[in-house]
Structures are given as structure tokens and as C-alpha cells.
Amino acid sequence: MAVQASKPAAQDAKGALVLFSGGQDSAVCLAHALTHYDRVETIGFDYGQRHRVELEARVRVRQAMTALDPAWAEKLGGDVLVDISGYGQLAESALTYERVIEMGESGLPTSFVPGRNLVFLVMAAAHAWRRGLDVLVGGMCQTDYSGYPDCREDTLKAQERALSLGLDMPVTIDTPLMFLTKGETWELADGLGGKPLVDLIVEHSHTCYMGDREHRHDWGYGCGTCPACELRAAGWKEWAGA
């Protein structure tokens, strides 16, 4: 049976803002939003990443996505990239500094950027409020993740309530990948856009923590050994049976 993310309730005439990094998960979330919402915009964050590859991937994926379906091209509106590089300097994660990716003394991997999703959602909500968009769409997932506490459903539900109170308006955080494995995420991509979308994600999205765009695998580009590559590769194997 094909995997389908649950269709958001009360979606009529809704506008969505997708937290869009240019990675596999955010690419699937963008396709999800373009399928289920009437008006879609994207927001990304330069938080001082070690590699600019992710930011370059955002442009490629957005451009390629509009070529897949005329209806998607019509729905997809503006994009904004927010410079919060100072936040990355405060976080001192392996994603923002030259540090080994390993399990830290806190019990979390050194790739954890403290509060990253919370910061992203606050800024996205402020932009969505100004743009008249009702829903924030993010690729957070507590099934296949690295133990990051800001990816858990409980965290996102609390953030949704806080944003609704703080903005004095209903804010919905739509997380279509929350309970999917990486293999099921590949399957969802296939269900949303077929082989063209899967091929787009393989060729243009970027997940590798090392910023490797030289080594090409069946599942896309990456070093093949960092946690992000291992997770993406395992998901591909689960879905494609490779």
C-alpha cells in the first residue's frame, strides 16, 4: 500500500509556508504543500552552516519543482532566505563548526543545533503572519531522526500553541513526515510526484553533513558515511530494495 501523509484538516483556501532547506525531507514537504494547499511560499535560513551546498540546493530544487507540474508552478509563490548566521555561532554545533560528529556528553550527537527548529518556527511564523499564510510546513520527524528533541511531536505541538497565543491567531504546524521512516518518505515522494519527483530529489537535494557533491550514489550525492548519508541510504534501500 502506498504511503500517504495524512491530509491536513480544514485546508480549504489555506496558504502554507514551507520551511525549506533544500534537503530530501523539505523537498518532500514542498511537494506535499503544493498538493494540499492553494498558495505556497518557502523560507530558508542561513544559520552559519559549515557548507553552502545546502543553500545552493534550495535554488535548484525550487526551480526543478516548478517544472514537474503546471499546477505546482502556479501555486508556488515567493521565497525568502533569512540570515541568522549569528545564531549558528552561539550554537557551536558540528553543523556550524569544524567538529567531529559523535555522541556528546549530553547524550545528544554533536550535530544537534540547540533549539534550531524552535528558532526557525518563530521566524517562519512572523513571516507567515505578515504574508497572510495559515500553516507552517516542516520536515521534522521523530521516527527516523538523530535524537534531536526539537523534532518530537510533543515539542512541535507545544510550539504550535505558543505561536498561536503569541500571535493571537491560529497557527498550524503541519509535519507530514512525523511518523514516517526514511523509506516511507521516499515512498511518499513517489506517491506525490512519481519518478520525476524521486529523480529530482536524488539529483538536486542535499543532505550530507560534509557537503559532499562529488560522490554520486543511487540515493543522491554525499560522503556516504556521515549519519545523514547513512540514514538517507538506508531509507533508499528500504524503499527501493537495493
Is 77 annotated for ligand binding?
no
Residue 234 lies in a domain: no
Is 28 annotated for ligand binding?
yes
- Three-state DSSP at 90 gives helix
Is 208 annotated for ligand binding?
yes
What CATH number is attached to the domain comprising 32?
A: 3.40.50.620
Find the mean pLDDT for residues 7-20: 70
Q: pTM of the entire structure?
A: 0.86
Residue 9 lies in a domain: no
Residue 1 lies in a domain: no
Note the pLDDT tens digit of each residue in 33-68.
999 999 999 999 988 776 788 889 999 999 999 999
Note the pLDDT tens digit of each residue in 110-127.
555 667 888 899 999 999
Is 21 annotated for ligand binding?
yes
| Integer Cα distance of 194 and 202 in angstroms | 13
Is 229 annotated for ligand binding?
yes
User: Considering only CA atoms, which of 144, 146, 213, 210 is closest in space to residue 182?
Assistant: 144
Predicted pLDDT of residue 221: 96
Residue 32 lies in a domain: yes
CB 205 within 8 A of CB 27: yes
Predicted pLDDT of residue 11: 42
Amino acid letter for position 27: A
> Positive or negative, the Cα torsion across 10, 16, 21, 22?
positive
Is 25 annotated for ligand binding?
yes
Amino acid letter for position 221: Y
How far are the Cα atoms of 21, 44, 58, 167, 222 from residue 48, in angstroms, in the given order? 13, 12, 15, 28, 20
CB 109 within 8 A of CB 62: no
Residue 136 lies in a domain: yes
Instruction: Tell me the pLDDT of the chain averaged across its residues.
Output: 85
Is 20 annotated for ligand binding?
yes
Amino acid letter for position 13: A
Q: Report which of residues 55 and 150 the model is more confident about.
A: 55
User: Considering only CA atoms, which of 9, 33, 16, 27 is closest in space to residue 127?
Assistant: 16
Predicted pLDDT of residue 113: 64
Is 190 annotated for ligand binding?
no
| Integer Cα distance of 141 and 151 in angstroms | 6
Q: Which domain holds residue 106?
A: 15-207
Q: Report which of residues 237 and 86 the model is more confident about.
A: 237
Residue 103 lies in a domain: yes
- The total number of structural domains in the chain stands at 1
Residue 64 lies in a domain: yes
Residue 224 lies in a domain: no
Note the pLDDT tens digit of each residue in 194-233.
999 999 999 999 988 888 999 999 999 999 988 889 889 9
Predicted pLDDT of residue 174: 97
Is 224 annotated for ligand binding?
no
